[in-house]
Amino acid sequence: SRAPTEHTTKDNDAGVVSSDGKKMPSYFFKPGEKVDTAAYYKVLRWTVLPWPRTTYPDGNYTWTQDGAPCHTSKKVQDFCPAHMSDVWPAHMWPSSSPDLNLLDFS
């Protein structure tokens, strides 16, 4: 297993990658913007959520996130199961595992 990697940039983006190869266009947070629960929730609710709803109108998708604090906040953890088809919560994924980075499979 590799050692955890350190982030080398302060730029953050949000994106969705599916197992069938479809990808949501990335949303880039403003340079230096702190991606806290409020910032992430706003993008999740108004930018990210419409994509799986229109791409998979039959609800045939599973939503998962890593253990970033904004992903594991109560607000986001309550929102996702209430608005998304199927949700794998953060506790189902190993913490700090570079071998299981979802974007590596895109």
Domain boundaries 13-105, CATH class: alpha beta
pLDDT tops 50 at residue 55: yes
| Whether the predicted model's global pTM rises above the 0.85 cut | no
DSSP tally for the chain: helices H, then strands E: 4, 4
pLDDT tops 70 at residue 95: no
Determine what percent of the chain is predicted with pLDDT higher than 70: 76
pLDDT tops 50 at residue 101: yes
Determine what percent of the chain is predicted with pLDDT higher than 90: 45
Alpha helices in 8-73 (DSSP H): 37-43, 50-55, 69-72
